[in-house]
Amino acid sequence: MSGATSRAPNLSRLIRPDTTSANVKAKLDATQPMSSAFPSCEPGIVPFGSRVLIQIRSPKSKSAGGIILPSDVKESEKWNQQVGRVHSLGPVAFHDRKTLQPWPEGEWAQPGMFVRTSKYGGDKWEVPVGDQGETALFVMFNDTDLIGEVTCDPRLVKAFI
């Protein structure tokens, strides 16, 4: 391949959209508080190596009209949800596995960011939240398995069943 040249990827195109616009703020779904969507709790596990720990969004307990959702609807939404908050990173997440140097494009995700994940990947477990029998779902992914950053309010992203 004498005609092929090696070029670095053009990262200047990777510009984050403006998430503070009036359009995004006007669409916020206030039916589920952020503290309910991502309840504060400890997962009980710290990621090793290149793993990334994600807390998956908890399902709503009421509809926008105030109707209490049945448990089978909540269970279906929980196991089909693909939006989560990055909880923590393993020590070599987003690093070259041979040299242990950070990737040239940097870390794709930081703790606190909202990301889109694969529905069927990762190692899943639940931890109890409060005394009402509610649980929070955590999933451990490889750093390369994250699909993308959610730049809008994560409560707006719907799970397709």
21-73 per-position pLDDT tens digit = 434 333 444 467 888 889 999 999 999 999 999 999 988 777 778 888 888 88
| pLDDT tens string 96-128 | 999 999 999 888 999 999 999 988 899 999 999
> Following DSSP, what letter does each residue of 126-157 receive, concatenated?
EEEETTTTEEEEEEEEEGGG--EE--S-GGGP
Tokens at residue 37, please? 């969507």
Domains of the chain: 33-152 (2.30.33.40)
pTM: predicted TM-score of the whole model, two decimal places = 0.76
Helices (H), 53-118: 71-80
pLDDT at 12 over 60: no
Tens digits of per-residue pLDDT, 61-94?
777 788 888 888 888 878 788 999 999 999 999 9
Interior/surface letters 103-117, b for 16+ CB within 10 angstroms, e for the rest: eeeeebbeeebbbeb
The pLDDT assigned to 14 comes to 45
Determine the Cα–Cα distance for residues 143 and 94; give it in Å rounded to an integer.
Answer: 6
Q: CA 150, CA 57: separation in Å to the nearest integer? A: 12
pLDDT for 134: 85
- Contact between 53 and 47 under an 8 Å Cβ cutoff? The reply is yes
Task: Check residue 27 and give its pLDDT.
Answer: 42
**Nearest in space to 53 (alpha carbons), one of 123, 149, 133:** 123
Q: 138: how many CB neighbours lie within 10 A of its CB? A: 22
